């Protein structure tokens, strides 16, 4: 499990790096488009489409990494009131459900990507093929599901040996200003 966890973390970091690079290139392209449009009256054709496809890479390339670093918003006002063991089981079950939902979305994404490929679907202006972006989206979702599955396994197998130390861990971040 540790080897799989390490591989999943590395893959999520790689996709995150790709998404950061694409975000930088998108910002540069939009900046150049605005400057050229106002300074010379020339625009970069397809900027909207490139930005639209780039957002697929930015969003789905960062989901798994954000979960790895526990950066997603969590609402814990009900779960935090549960005893530590029940809290861990509850979190594990919900993480498993989330992993299943993300895996279903990834599977659907792969099916849609294949349909785009078979149909030859493209963007309207630049006629860029849609299927590579759909495959990227599905891959990002599949990796996201894997991270949730690993988190669920960790939550369900973690033991809380000392109640006071578990409560101290839970409240240590909240007590600091």
Q: Is the pLDDT of residue 55 over 60?
A: yes
Q: 113 lies in a domain?
A: yes
Q: Is the pLDDT of residue 176 over 50?
A: no
Q: 92 lies in a domain?
A: yes
What local confidence, expressed as pLDDT, does residue 172 receive?
A: 39
Q: Is the pLDDT of residue 118 over 50?
A: yes
Q: 131 lies in a domain?
A: yes
Residue 130 domain boundaries: 2-161
Q: Is the pLDDT of residue 175 over 60?
A: no
pLDDT category at 160 given cuts 50, 70, 90 is low
Cβ pair 141, 62 in contact under 8 A:
no
Mean pLDDT lowest among 16-25, 69-78, 129-138: 69-78
Into how many domains does the chain fold?
A: 1
Q: 175 lies in a domain?
A: no
Helix axes 2-39, 47-68, angle to 10 degrees: 150
Q: 146 lies in a domain?
A: yes
Cβ pair 95, 67 in contact under 8 A:
no
Could you tell me the pTM of the whole model? 0.85
């Amino acid at each position: 499990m540790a080897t799989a966890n390490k591989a999943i973390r590395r893959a999520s970091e790689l996709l995150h790096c790709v998404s950061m690079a694409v975000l930088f290139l998108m910002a540069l392209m939009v900046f150049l488009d605005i400057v050229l449009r106002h300074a010379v009256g020339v625009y970069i054709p397809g900027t909207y489409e490139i930005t639209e496809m780039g957002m697929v890479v930015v969003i789905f390339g960062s989901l798994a990494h954000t979960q790895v670093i526990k950066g997603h918003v969590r609402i814990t006002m009900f779960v935090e009131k549960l005893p530590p063991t029940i809290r861990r089981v509850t979190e594990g079950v919900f993480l498993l459900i989330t992993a299943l939902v993300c895996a279903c979305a990834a599977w659907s994404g792969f099916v849609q990507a294949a349909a785009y490929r078979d149909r030859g679907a493209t963007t309207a202006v630049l006629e860029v093929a849609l299927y590579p972006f759909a495959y990227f989206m599905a891959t990002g979702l599949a990796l996201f599901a894997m991270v949730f599955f690993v988190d669920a396994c960790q939550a369900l197998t973690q033991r809380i040996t000392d109640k006071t130390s578990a409560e101290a861990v839970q409240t240590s971040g909240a007590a600091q200003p």
